[in-house]
Structure 1
Amino acid sequence: MATEHVLLGAAAKFPVNSTSPIISFTPVIIPSPGRPAELQLRVTAPSTGDALPIILLSHGHGPSNWLSSLQGYAPLAEFWAKHGFVVIQPTHLSSRTLSLPSSEGDEMHWKSRSEDMIQILDQLDHIETVVPGLKGRLDRSKIAGVGHSFGTLTVSLLLGAKNTDPRDGAVYSPFERRIKAGILFGGLGNGGADMSENGRKMLPFYDLDFSTMHAPTLVVGGEDDVGPHLTVRGADWHWDAYTHGPGPKDLLRVKGGRHGFGGISGWDAAETQDESPQRLGFVQRTSLAYLRSQLYEGDDSWKKACEVLAGLNELGSVESKS
């Protein structure tokens, strides 16, 4: 987008670095022998600049037909790219655009999602070659993972969390050291007794342990994000990665925020129950600040964002632990 929305409001008080024009290239096809569908990506990048940090963005499993794929999350991908990041978005096998059957033990293709992200990292040479103008411009020492909703399971596992299937005790832990930091938007919380009956039916494989997730992580939780279809608890279930995970962790509580955080999954998306240019601008700018400070030693963007937020209680609040 060429300009900020006129309804950005108080979110405009959060400072950001200068912007540049962006390119969005899709599909980038990754060779995937044995995968039920070829792995397709969207790559959104600044048109200029070198040594660009990388964000792997894992989509959710929402009710829309298109947004849970590489077609979604333009409000995040475009914003981060305008401010200097290369954003890589896969279409996971769980996407409604594919509607593929899944197997017992890999319901909703939950394991293959993490495998997609690892495959992307293994194929960065190929991605650089395919995307026009990207060759030699990636900084592979600066990689972050971001997930929304079901995508937070993908990213949590890559950041060090472990899932134990309650049916057979099988442990799955695809920890990925190349990913240095993460952001979880509307994350999945504790399993077991905290799941609703419907949640256990939807996610029979699920019982995530955050105690081993040591990577720096920003957990973004909507204070009105209540999901009885998954949990018997309230909105705080969505920030269990902060509550039960070791530091360093930060929790950004979004005032009035529901599962869409103002509209992160798409422009004017019907599934967004809390659409707000101001709320969207708030999470765009604070997430950018967090990523910059985690990936660049000495960068104080996150510190400045927290200082601004201290005077804007109507937007939300932040707490941290080391």
Structure 2
Amino acid sequence: MSFHLPDSPIFSVKPITVPAPGRGADLQVKVTAPTSGRDLPVIVFSHGNAWSMDGYGPLADRWAAAGFVVVQPTHLDSRRNGIGWDDPRFPTIWRVRIADLHAVLDGLDDVLRQAGDLADRVDHGRVAVAGHSWGAQTAGALLGARVLGADGVPGEDFAHPAVAAGALIAATGTGDSLTPFAAEHLPFMRPDYSTMTAPALVIAGGEDRSRLSTRGPDWFTDAYRLSPSPKSLVVVAAGEHTLGGVAGEAVAETTDEDPARVALVADAVAAYLLDALKVDGAAWAALGEAAAAGDGTWSLTGK
């Protein structure tokens, strides 16, 4: 990468409990932020299946060092809650995930007050959502994507008015190519991106071959191809589903461990959101220049 993002000292506070009546378990979040600075933008991040607020440190820490306040909820599907594929609650967890993000955004002031002086240091007009894998579908719902029912009719609109932009990392594609297992256990994995109007960056791995779809890596570009502009797409040519290990170092499900690849993903998201939230466009412009002059290991396109 030929550009440099700020590298500020950071701190984290956890756990902070967010009111979520009827959820069946406390909704807890972790906040990571720079130790100084004002008018800070916010990223609310949704983790992938089975993870928690304690994962994705390589992303959260790098974003906070670049000047963001990062809020990470632990969703109900986290391993620590012991809810597996066959649990009767599992079919509705996708809705609980979306409700989790709404609860965090609706209660953001209180969350930030419990994390020190952050309530006075953030810019509430500069809020983004991001997510990886299942978390990307969750975040996409707050950007305007919907879930198609079995009859092909789009479901509820879960867009949140506080969300100005987003980043979807390894977001699952449309549901017309689900494997039998996915169709049985994940019937909600039928996103309709035609209504996802908010600005967003989509990041996909060129070697991400999911067991949930009969299609190849292009499945993970649907969120870009099928949504209205403005959108941008970064494809990491050799990236697999964890894109080098975004969930953490030496994580078992990482099949393509590469710290430089993780840094690329983190910095691309930070640069995009700094531009989309109208904080500073310099890093995003530099990313474009780096892509144009690159060696083909990753690409950047937009519409």
Q: Same fold (TM over 0.5)?
A: yes
Q: 1:268 is matched with which residue: 239, 242, 250?
A: 250
Separation in 1, partners of 2:119, 2:224: 37
Match of 2:5 in 1: 17
**1:1-322 aligned within 5 A:** 11=1, 13=2, 15-61=3-49, 68-100=51-83, 103=88, 107=91, 109-166=93-150, 171-192=155-176, 194-227=177-210, 229-296=211-278, 299-321=281-303
Query: Residues 265-284 of structure 1: CA distance to partner in whole angstroms, max 9, x if unpaired?
Result: 01221211111122112112
User: Any conservation in 1 of the 2:198–2:230 contact (CA below 8 Å)?
Assistant: yes
Query: Residues 130-182 of structure 1: CA distance to partner in whole angstroms, max 9, x if unpaired?
Result: 11232311111001111100111111111001112216957132111211111
Give the stretch that moved more between structures: 45-54 or 167-176: 167-176
Structure 1 residue runs without a partner (length 5+): 1-10, 63-67
User: Cα RMSD (Å) of the superposition?
Assistant: 1.8
User: Any conservation in 2 of the 1:166–1:206 contact (CA below 8 Å)?
Assistant: no
Separation in 2, partners of 1:77, 1:43: 9
Separation in 1, partners of 2:21, 2:146: 27
Separation in 1, partners of 2:116, 2:6: 23
Match of 1:4 in 2: none
What code does the residue aligned with 1:32 have?
Answer: A
User: Any conservation in 1 of the 2:5–2:267 contact (CA below 8 Å)?
Assistant: no
User: Any conservation in 2 of the 1:94–1:108 contact (CA below 8 Å)?
Assistant: no
What code does the residue aligned with 1:21 have?
Answer: P
Quickly say closer, same or farther: Cα 1:297–1:30, change in 2 above 3 A: closer
What's the TM-score once normalised by structure 2's chain length? Answer: 0.94
Separation in 2, partners of 1:317, 1:170: 32
Secondary structure of the residue that 1:26 maps to in structure 2?
A: strand
Number of equivalences? 301
Separation in 2, partners of 1:297, 1:279: 25
What's the TM-score once normalised by structure 1's chain length? Answer: 0.89
User: Any conservation in 1 of the 2:146–2:154 contact (CA below 8 Å)?
Assistant: no
Separation in 2, partners of 1:298, 1:76: 19
Identity of aligned residues (%): 38
What code does the residue aligned with 1:52 have?
Answer: L
Q: Structure 1: which 4+ aligned runs deviate by more than 6 Å?
A: none
Q: Give the drift of 1:309.
A: 1.5
Give the stretch that moved more between structures: 199-208 or 234-243: 199-208
Separation in 2, partners of 1:135, 1:142: 13
Give the stretch that moved more between structures: 133-142 or 216-225: 133-142
Separation in 2, partners of 1:16, 1:94: 36
Separation in 1, partners of 2:150, 2:88: 16
User: Any conservation in 1 of the 2:197–2:229 contact (CA below 8 Å)?
Assistant: yes
Q: Give the drift of 1:108.
A: 5.6
Match of 1:7 in 2: none
Secondary structure of the residue that 2:246 maps to in structure 1?
A: coil
Separation in 2, partners of 1:147, 1:175: 15
Quickly say closer, same or farther: Cα 1:284–1:167, change in 2 above 3 A: same
Separation in 2, partners of 1:224, 1:240: 15
Separation in 1, partners of 2:274, 2:162: 16
Separation in 2, partners of 1:52, 1:147: 20
Separation in 2, partners of 1:279, 1:138: 29
Give the stretch that moved more between structures: 165-174 or 86-95: 165-174
User: Any conservation in 1 of the 2:208–2:239 contact (CA below 8 Å)?
Assistant: yes
Separation in 2, partners of 1:176, 1:16: 32
Structure 2 residue runs without a partner (length 5+): none
Quickly say closer, same or farther: Cα 1:301–1:171, change in 2 above 3 A: same
